[in-house]
């Protein structure tokens, strides 16, 4: 049996989580032109919060879906508040500062969050309570687990909702206008601060869900997990064309698939010279190659500088 289909499924699942997290990067970048370096840590906090609540409620009389939902909602609420707080404290005062200044505060914030998480939840891996369905479906010889299915459906739904929110609602229009030109949007009566706040809430909520899904998928969470997740998601956002929402979705899915196929095939392709421990190298190589061919990302517009 070829591993192709299996790796494709795994890649799609992983990729849809990357996409959810990448959306947060891309939305903030689109509006503020800022790499929200702390976004990966928000994802981690989301996973941690959800796990804390779920672990606490496990064994209570509540039905399992309610327990999971309680964890998820806590994570969403907590991450939204956190996102707002970070924007307020670390980014807003620096909106007109030199461009790298908010990048440094963002780095500072992620160091704070990481160490805070370590102080609260410790250095060890935290495992997901055994509440999740363990079944799987056979897809042409490959295995699609229930958890994978849940992840695929959830993220597909969320992406559809977000896409129509941005494209079809007045709020979405205001967001796009602010991304184009905050000053002009302000003249049109759009409160840029409110739009930025909304962006952070949406991005952080998606990160919280992403974190929850990742910890459900791997059955684990760890205070350091946000770093690599954030890095991958950011790469995905760049791959798709940063600032572009559909690009982030595409980039996330692609990166997940590339990574997963790379991990599966890199050994056979190189006759065992390189093993699957090179899967990240593979992902980055593809990222770099794509950017060299399409410097603005897959769906990004090349902003030719008009004099």
Partner 1 sequence: MTELLKINQVSKSFGGVQALTNVSFSIQSGEIFGLIGPNGAGKTTLFNLITGVLPVSAGHITFNQCPLQNLPPHKILRLGIARTFQNIRLFSGMTALENVMVGMHSRTHAGILGAILRNAGTRREETHSKAQAHHLLTLVGISRHSNTLAANLPYGDQRRLEIARALASQPRLLALDEPAAGMNPSERDSLRELMHALHQEFNLTLLVIEHDVQFMMQLCHRMAVLDFGELVTVDTPDKVRHHPRVIQAWLGGDT
Partner 2 sequence: MTRTPKNVRLSYSALAITLLALPFVLQFGLGRGWVRIIDLALLYSMLALGLNIVVGYAGLLDLGYIAFYAMGAYVYALLNSPQFGLHWPVWVVLPLGAACAGLFGVLLGTPTLRLRGDYLAIVTLGFGEIIRIFLNNLNEPINITNGPQGISLIDPIHIGTFSFSHNHTQWLPGLTGPVQYYYLFLAITLLIMWVALRLQHSRVGRAWAAIREDELAAAASGIALRNYKLLAFAMGATFGGLAGGLFAGFQGFVSPESFNLMESVMILCMIVLGGMGNVFGVVLGALILTAFPEALRMIGQWQLNQFGRVVVDPNNFRMLLFGMALVVMMLLRPAGLWPSRRHHREYAGERS
> To the nearest whole angstrom, how small is the minimum distance from the Cβ of residue 105 to partner 2?
5
Nearest Cα to 71, choosing from 56, 87, 92, 61? 56
Task: Name residue, tokens 């759009």.
Answer: 190
Q: Which does 304 bind (CB under 5 to 8 A by kind): partner 2, partner 1, none?
A: partner 1
Stretch that binds partner 2, among 95-103, 138-146, 193-201, 261-269 (CB under 8 A): 95-103
Q: Answer yes or no whether residue 133 interacts with partner 2 by CB under 8 A.
A: no
| Residue 267 to residue 278: CA distance in whole angstroms | 9
Nearest Cα to 233, choosing from 44, 4, 9? 44
* Cβ-based neighbour number of residue 15 at 10 Å: 28
Q: Answer yes or no whether residue 273 interacts with partner 1 by CB under 8 A.
A: no
| Residue 49 to residue 226: CA distance in whole angstroms | 13
Handedness of CA 67, 201, 45, 132 (dihedral sign): positive
> To the nearest whole angstrom, how small is the minimum distance from the Cβ of residue 21 to partner 2?
15
Phi first, then psi, for residue 221 (nearest 5°) are: -145, 155
Residues in 286-305 that interact with partner 1 by CB under 8 A? 304-305
| Residue 232 to residue 300: CA distance in whole angstroms | 18
Q: Which does 3 bind (CB under 5 to 8 A by kind): partner 2, partner 1, none?
A: none
> To the nearest whole angstrom, how small is the minimum distance from the Cβ of residue 45 to partner 1?
39
Q: Which does 187 bind (CB under 5 to 8 A by kind): partner 1, partner 2, none?
A: none
Tokens of 199: 């962006």
Q: Answer yes or no whether residue 268 interacts with partner 2 by CB under 8 A.
A: no
CB 43 within 8 A of CB 207: yes
Tokens of 113: 């969050």
Stretch that binds partner 2, among 52-60, 153-161, 200-208, 293-301 (CB under 8 A): 293-301
Number of residues interacting with partner 2: please give it, by CB under 8 A.
54
> To the nearest whole angstrom, how small is the minimum distance from the Cβ of residue 251 to partner 1?
23
Chain positions contacting partner 2, by CB under 8 A: 29, 33, 35, 89-90, 93-94, 96-105, 107-112, 114-116, 118-119, 227, 231, 234-235, 238, 242, 272-275, 277-278, 280-281, 284-285, 287-288, 291-292, 295-297, 303, 305, 307
């Amino acid at each position: 049996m070829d591993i192709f289909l299996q790796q494709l499924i795994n890649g799609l699942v992983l990729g849809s989580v990357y996409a959810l997290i990448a959306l947060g990067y891309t939305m903030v970048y689109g509006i503020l032109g800022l790499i929200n370096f702390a976004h990966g840590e928000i994802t981690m906090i989301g996973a941690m919060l959800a796990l804390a609540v779920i672990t606490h409620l496990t064994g209570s009389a509540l039905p399992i879906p309610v327990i999971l939902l309680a964890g998820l909602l806590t994570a969403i609420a907590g991450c939204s508040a956190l996102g707002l707080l970070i924007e307020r404290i670390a980014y807003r005062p620096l909106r007109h500062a030199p461009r790298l200044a908010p990048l440094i505060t963002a780095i500072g914030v992620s160091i704070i969050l990481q160490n805070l998480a370590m102080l609260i939840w410790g250095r060890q891996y935290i495992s997901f309570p055994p509440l999740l369905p363990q079944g799987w479906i056979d897809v042409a010889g490959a295995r699609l687990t229930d958890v994978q299915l849940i992840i695929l459906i959830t993220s597909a739904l969320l992406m559809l909702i977000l896409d129509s929110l941005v494209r079809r609602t007045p709020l979405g229009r205001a967001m796009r206008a602010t991304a184009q030109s905050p000053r002009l949007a302000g003249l049109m009566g759009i409160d840029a601060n409110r739009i930025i706040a909304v962006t952070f809430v949406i991005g952080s909520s998606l990160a919280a869900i992403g974190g929850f899904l990742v910890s459900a998928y791997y059955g684990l969470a760890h205070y350091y997990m946000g770093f690599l997740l954030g890095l991958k998601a950011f790469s995905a956002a760049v791959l798709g064309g940063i600032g572009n929402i559909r690009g982030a979705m595409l980039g996330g899915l692609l990166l997940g698939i590339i990574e997963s196929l790379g991990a599966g095939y890199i050994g056979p392709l190189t006759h065992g010279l390189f093993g699957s421990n090179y899967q990240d190298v593979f992902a980055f190589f593809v990222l770099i190659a794509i950017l060299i061919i399409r410097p603005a990302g897959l769906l990004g517009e090349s902003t030719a500088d008009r004099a």
